[in-house]
A = this chain, B = another copy of it.
Amino acid sequence: MLKTSPLAPASQPKLPPIDGVKIAAMNSGIRYKGRDDVMLMTFDPGSVMAGVVTRSKTRSAPVEQCVDALKAGGRARAVVVNAGNANAFTGRAGDMTVMQTVEAAARALQCQADEVYVSSTGVIGQVVPVGAIPKCVEALPAKLSADGWAAGAAAIMTTDTFVKVATRQAKIGGAAVTLNGMVKGSGMIAPDMATMLGYMATDAAIPQPILQALLSRAVEKTFNCITVDSDTSTSDTVLLAATGKAGNAVPQSAGDPALKDFKRALQEICLDLAQQVVRDGEGASKFIEIRVSGATSAGAAKTIGLAIANSPLVKTSIAGEDPNWGRIVMAVGKSGAKAERDKLKIAIGGVEITASGMVVEGFDEGPVAAHMRGKEIAIDVDIGLGRGRATVWTCDLTHGYIEINGDYRS
């Protein structure tokens, strides 16, 4: 059993119900004992779904199924998630398990197959016992509850050390709407155990194409700006359902001014959940925010930020509380994005370290070293060439990561 991450939030919010959304969880017997590992989330008729999935070329059968359902129009009645077996790289047997899961949900909820979304997380390459998930799907509807968010979030965990949920309120026109979300993940991936899966729901009435546009945009600056170990899952999936029960005036486009506050809330909840994944990063002892400015474009800024965030040398030096800013220079240089040595400015914990291609005169390492002894590390990098900005989040690379991921078999 893994110890709770030292970066875990002090407490988790109690999530309010979302009108039209119910959740149930149970144990499947596939891998885990003494805990739930299958979640069913249902949506009232008329709900829609938006989704973003991994860019991996070897994505799993459940991911393919989600993509197909989104393409079919993104109508939503159910999400089924199991933890402990990723049903990835399981060939036709894997496709069959997904199909049988979808059929079981469609039967149980009296809905169409393309209104069901399936996710799996856990070990890659092991065939899921036939019927194990469909059997749960048959039993779960009797247990559905509007208060099931925390139970659902616990059921989808693998190497996660704490339950990750978030909630936000927003207004669309005069109507109050609620956004709830849950996420699991503690490496960007560990195929053994740690894909990132996120499920959000709102009672807002938002047409599917608009919901998709809003989600895609929010993910780009949140879930797609975090990294634990640079590895990308075969199974990463983020879904957002909208039940339409809040009775707001239906927006006509993604640019509708009435959506401004909802966009703010969606961005906030995605960022909250994404940062919780980083805070549960495998072996993490420091939460690191890297703010890049002055790049030639926002894309270049993100490339530079992720090069710093993914550098094993930067991550190990932060684990060692060593203000080794030379490694940040190195990471900027290797990113491939445009940079000039003599324009680069680096600050750690708000203390300026470099300017004009070298360390600032009279630089005192003391305050930077003190900052690095804390749990929250802030790195600012100004490229000095343009107006491109991005912020990314990561954690340090510690012995804990090696321990969790090097499963010393005897």
Query: Range of interface residues on chain A?
Result: 35 or more
In this assembly, does A17 line the interface, its C-beta being within 8 Å of a C-beta of chain B? no
The listed residue (B89, B313, B398, B406) touching A358 by CB distance below 8 A is B89
Report the copy number of this chain in the oligomer: 2
List B contacts of A338 (CB < 8 A).
Answer: 57
In this assembly, does A350 line the interface, its C-beta being within 8 Å of a C-beta of chain B? no
Q: What 8 A-B pairs have minimum CB-CB distances, sorted nearest first?
A: A124-B326, A320-B406, A58-B333, A91-B358, A56-B333, A232-B334, A316-B405, A91-B357
List B contacts of A148 (CB < 8 A).
Answer: none
What is the bound-complex CA distance between A86 and B356, given in angstroms?
18
A125 B408 Cβ-Cβ under 8 A: no
B369 A326 Cβ-Cβ under 8 A: no
B316 A402 Cβ-Cβ under 8 A: yes
Contact with B along A307-335 (1 / 0, CB 8 A): 00011110011011110111101111111
What is the bound-complex CA distance between A397 and B356, given in angstroms?
35
List B contacts of A310 (CB < 8 A).
Answer: 230
List B contacts of A342 (CB < 8 A).
Answer: 91
17 contacts between A and B (CB under 8 A): A57-B341, A89-B329, A92-B357, A92-B358, A123-B326, A124-B326, A189-B330, A191-B324, A191-B326, A229-B312, A230-B230, A231-B312, A316-B402, A320-B406, A320-B408, A321-B408, A322-B409
In this assembly, does A186 line the interface, its C-beta being within 8 Å of a C-beta of chain B? no
Q: Which residue on chain B has the smallest CB distance to residue A59?
A: B333
What is the bound-complex CA distance between A163 and B358, given in angstroms?
32
Contact with B along A186-204 (1 / 0, CB 8 A): 0101111000000000000
What is the bound-complex CA distance between A334 and B127, given in angstroms?
22
List B contacts of A312 (CB < 8 A).
Answer: 229-231, 312, 397, 401, 405
List B contacts of A86 (CB < 8 A).
Answer: 326
Within residues 267 to 311 of chain A, which ones have a CB less than 8 A from any CB in chain B?
310-311
B399 A56 Cβ-Cβ under 8 A: no
A409 B320 Cβ-Cβ under 8 A: yes
Query: In angstroms, how far is the closest chain B Cβ from the Cβ of A164?
Result: 21
What is the bound-complex CA distance between A77 and B337, given in angstroms?
35
The listed residue (B332, B406, B408) touching A58 by CB distance below 8 A is B332
List B contacts of A401 (CB < 8 A).
Answer: 312, 316
B334 A125 Cβ-Cβ under 8 A: no
A329 B234 Cβ-Cβ under 8 A: yes
Within residues 34 to 72 of chain A, which ones have a CB less than 8 A from any CB in chain B?
54-59
The listed residue (B330, B340, B356) touching A234 by CB distance below 8 A is B330
List B contacts of A406 (CB < 8 A).
Answer: 316-317, 319-320, 322, 397-398
In this assembly, does A233 line the interface, its C-beta being within 8 Å of a C-beta of chain B? yes
What is the bound-complex CA distance between A92 and B357, given in angstroms?
8
In this assembly, does A145 line the interface, its C-beta being within 8 Å of a C-beta of chain B? no
Query: In angstroms, how far is the closest chain B Cβ from the Cβ of A172?
Result: 37
Q: Which residue on chain B has the smallest CB distance to residue A89?
A: B329
Q: Which residue on chain B has the smallest CB distance to residue A125?
A: B326
Query: In angstroms, how far is the closest chain B Cβ from the Cβ of A401?
Result: 7
The listed residue (B357, B402, B409) touching A89 by CB distance below 8 A is B357
Q: Which residue on chain B has the smallest CB distance to residue A304?
A: B57
List B contacts of A319 (CB < 8 A).
Answer: 402, 406
Q: Would A233 and B330 be within 8 Å (CB), given that A89-B354, A125-B359, A189-B313 are in contact?
A: yes
In this assembly, does A216 line the interface, its C-beta being within 8 Å of a C-beta of chain B? no
Q: Which residue on chain B has the smallest CB distance to residue A94?
A: B358
Q: Would A329 and B125 be within 8 Å (CB), given that A89-B357, A231-B311, A358-B90 are in contact?
A: yes
What is the bound-complex CA distance between A313 and B325, given in angstroms?
26
In this assembly, does A177 line the interface, its C-beta being within 8 Å of a C-beta of chain B? no
B94 A330 Cβ-Cβ under 8 A: no
